[in-house]
């Protein structure tokens, strides 16, 4: 009996299993687009045989079709339009995302520069604070040109983001333009104004120049090198390497020492900004929002007055407009002023309510007997050209008893802390090591003979006085000199005009007059390849107390 029951159950199980297998092989689930049901459709069903489903499960299959949503493959790229990116609030992150100069791995020279920056976090902190007012504008200008945002960090290398920086090579401003290159790229330089320090204009010029260099060399690192030492120097280095069968990338070129460190410095700064946490650098955030606004003034304006109208300070106005040398904007224009964005509307409204004739203060000067335009201009700290322009004078002739209108500053000297004269006074009065002396420039004085006389470095001497060795000295100009121990009086330095003779060399001449070969070259603009010719004249500045014979 048990055997029969077992046998019948076994047969039943086999039948069910067969039906299930058949059902699995039958496409009972269909995946297709949902059909639109016609309104009031009448469906008449004909008698049908039991389906495999009914045979297996004992009930009719659900007539509702399955509707499966599309499943995105694992590696499918979702269109950008469907991604809602979080806004970038930190300007540093925006800069990182805009990097475009390839740097697969850090070069040894970059590592060396990186080590210095890592060891000097205080320096980086100061640079960040100095960059804060300018960086957003620079980043925006670079992005509009589709240039790599590492370039926004170039002022860190050039000037430490100091708008009043001035090098011994006569380079000025955030981007360190020398006078000649500045003029080529449209940066005016005159008594009132120096476009090399104008943040807006110098940024435009620097990017113009860098774009040109990138077109020339087709490589950003070579373009940056040329920005530092000139396209001619880089071009010659490339030609030398090609002739020798060597690579012509930046790292393979034989370039001046300063340039060889220049590009690695920028690469090091970019790497440090990209990964500050890796080097325990606390990088203060900078808002990814405009800081500056450019306001058209329509006429010349006193900068201390402008600060009041903008509810700002003279110090802030000068730092945002470092191109202005004096107490007012330049008379000839263009007439515009950079102010903090948050104060722009206040400034515009106050400016609109102030007539143009009240934006600069004038004084009426009665000409005294014996006075000249030069003396009057010096007394009022202005120029003869400005006085002539203000009074419609065609020449320098003036008569005693008549009056001149002269533009003058409305505020105190302290209200114009960043004019040329105030910056010079601050520099000359800064305490330093050694004994402070004052020298009044006389006819024939040069930076070199004064440096020799006082036994100081010529670059330091010029820097103490806010100048470069290539700047011209003016008669009566007061120079500050910091000395260590005994010095040679400038009265003992004599200018010698030496005519080259047969058999002369720079070494023989330097030994004869107890000067260095480098000094002879510098005094006469000679390169290391210049050939001396008999009869050629050289100018030498010699200390008569150091000579063994007559000169």
Which residues lie across from 292 on neighbouring strands?
Answer: 340
Tell me: pLDDT of 427 over 50.
yes
Q: Where are the alpha helices (DSSP H) in 167-288?
A: 179-184, 199-217, 220-229, 231-243, 257-274
Does 405 or 510 have the greater pLDDT score?
405
Closest of 453, 60, 120, 397 to residue 268, by C-alpha: 120
Mean of the pLDDT values across residues 453-479?
91
Lowest-confidence segment of 49-53, 213-217, 289-293, 352-356 by average pLDDT: 49-53
Q: Which residues neighbour 348 within 8 Å (Cβ) at sequence distance 6 or greater?
A: 295
Lowest-confidence segment of 209-213, 367-371, 493-497 by average pLDDT: 493-497
- Contact between 207 and 147 under an 8 Å Cβ cutoff? The reply is yes
479-508 tens-digit pLDDT: 999 988 554 555 566 778 888 888 888 888
Decide yes or no: CATH 1.10.530.10 for domain 91-279: yes
Closest of 130, 134, 126 to residue 338, by C-alpha: 134
Per-residue exposure over 84-113, b if at least 16 CB sit within 10 Å of its own CB, e if not = eeeeeeebbebbbebbebeeeeebebbeeb
Does 1 or 383 have the greater pLDDT score?
383
Does 64 or 414 have the greater pLDDT score?
414
State the pLDDT at residue 550: 53
Q: Where are the alpha helices (DSSP H) in 98-219?
A: 108-119, 121-131, 135-144, 154-158, 179-184, 199-217
Q: Name the pLDDT band for 534 (thresholds 50, 70, 90).
A: confident
State the pLDDT at residue 10: 46
State the pLDDT at residue 545: 64
- Contact between 339 and 208 under an 8 Å Cβ cutoff? The reply is no
35-60 tens-digit pLDDT: 444 444 444 444 455 554 454 445 55
CATH number of 430-487: 3.40.50.150, 3.10.350.10, 1.10.10.10, 3.50.30.10?
Answer: 3.10.350.10
Q: Name the pLDDT band for 154 (thresholds 50, 70, 90).
A: very high
Tell me: pLDDT of 215 over 80.
yes
- Contact between 392 and 404 under an 8 Å Cβ cutoff? The reply is no
The Cα 196–Cα 188 span in angstroms is: 8
Domain ranges of the chain: 1-25+50-57, 91-279, 430-487, 491-546
Number of residues assigned to the chain: 551
Same CATH topology for 430-487 and 491-546?
A: yes
C-alpha separations of 85 from 81, 97, 482 in Å: 10, 13, 58
State the pLDDT at residue 58: 53
Does 40 or 384 have the greater pLDDT score?
384
State the pLDDT at residue 522: 67
State the pLDDT at residue 25: 45
Q: Indicate which residues carry an active-site annotation.
A: 158
**Tally of CA atoms within 13 A in the half-sphere of 219 that contains its CB:** 16
The Cα 147–Cα 96 span in angstroms is: 13
Taking CA 145 as the corner, what is the angle to CA 131 and CA 224, rounded to the nearest 5 degrees?
Answer: 65
The Cα 141–Cα 143 span in angstroms is: 6
State the pLDDT at residue 35: 41
Q: Name the pLDDT band for 83 (thresholds 50, 70, 90).
A: low
CATH number of 491-546: 1.20.950.20, 3.10.350.10, 2.60.40.1170, 3.90.850.10?
Answer: 3.10.350.10
Is the pTM of the predicted complex or chain greater than 0.85?
no
């Amino acid at each position: 009996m048990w055997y029969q029951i077992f046998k019948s159950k076994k047969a039943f199980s086999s039948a069910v299993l067969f039906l299930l297998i058949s059902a699995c092989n039958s496409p009972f689930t269909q995946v297709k687009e949902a059909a639109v049901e016609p309104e009031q459709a009448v469906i008449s069903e004909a008698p049908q045989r039991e389906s495999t489903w009914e045979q297996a499960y004992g009930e009719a299959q659900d007539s509702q079709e399955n509707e499966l949503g599309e499943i995105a493959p694992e590696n499918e790229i979702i269109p950008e339009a469907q991604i809602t990116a979080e806004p970038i609030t930190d300007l540093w992150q925006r800069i990182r995302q805009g990097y475009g100069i390839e740097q697969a791995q850090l070069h040894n020279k970059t590592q060396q520069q990186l080590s210095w920056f890592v060891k000097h976090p205080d320096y980086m902190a100061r640079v960040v604070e100095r960059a804060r007012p300018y960086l957003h504008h620079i980043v925006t200008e670079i992005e509009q040109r589709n240039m790599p945002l590492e370039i926004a960090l170039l002022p860190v290398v050039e000037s430490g983001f100091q708008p009043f920086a001035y090098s011994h090579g006569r380079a000025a401003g955030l981007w360190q333009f020398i006078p000649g290159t500045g003029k080529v790229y449209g940066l005016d330089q005159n008594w009132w104004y120096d476009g090399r320090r104008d943040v807006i204009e110098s940024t435009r010029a620097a990017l113009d120049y860098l774009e040109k260099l990138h077109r020339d060399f087709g490589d950003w690192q070579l373009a940056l090198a040329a920005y530092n030492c000139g396209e001619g120097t880089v071009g010659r280095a490339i030609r030398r390497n090609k002739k020798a069968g060597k690579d012509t990338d930046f790292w393979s070129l034989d370039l001046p020492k300063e340039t060889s460190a220049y590009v690695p410095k920028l690469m090091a700064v970019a790497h440090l900004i990209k990964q500050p946490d890796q080097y325990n650098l606390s990088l203060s955030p900078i808002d990814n929002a405009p800081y500056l606004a450019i306001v058209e003034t329509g006429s010349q304006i006193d900068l201390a007055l402008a600060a009041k109208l903008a509810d700002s300070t003279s110090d802030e106005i000068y730092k945002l407009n470092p191109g202005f040398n004096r107490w007012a904007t330049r008379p000839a224009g263009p007439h515009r002023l950079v102010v903090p964005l948050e104060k722009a509307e206040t400034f515009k409204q106050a400016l609109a309510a102030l007539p143009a004739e009240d934006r600069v203060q004038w004084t009426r000067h009665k000409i005294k007997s014996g006075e000249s335009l030069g003396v009057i201009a010096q007394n009022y700290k202005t120029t003869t050209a400005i006085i002539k322009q203000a009074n419609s004078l065609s020449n320098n002739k003036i008569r005693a008893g008549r009056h001149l209108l002269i533009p003058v500053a409305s505020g105190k000297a302290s209200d114009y802390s960043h004019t040329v004269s105030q910056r010079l006074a601050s520099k000359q009065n800064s305490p330093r090591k050694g004994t402070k002396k004052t020298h009044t420039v006389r006819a024939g004085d040069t930076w070199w003979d004064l440096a020799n006389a006082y036994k100081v470095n010529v670059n330091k001497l010029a820097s103490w006085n806010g100048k470069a060795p290539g700047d011209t000295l003016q008669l009566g100009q007061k120079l500050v000199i910091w000395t260590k121990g005994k010095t040679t009086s400038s009265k003992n330095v004599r200018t010698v005009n030496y005519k080259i003779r047969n058999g002369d060399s720079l070494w023989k001449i330097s030994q004869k007059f107890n000067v260095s070969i480098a000094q002879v070259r510098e005094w006469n603009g000679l390169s290391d390849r210049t050939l001396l010719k008999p009869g050629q004249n050289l100018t030498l500045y010699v200390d008569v107390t150091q000579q063994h014979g007559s000169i």
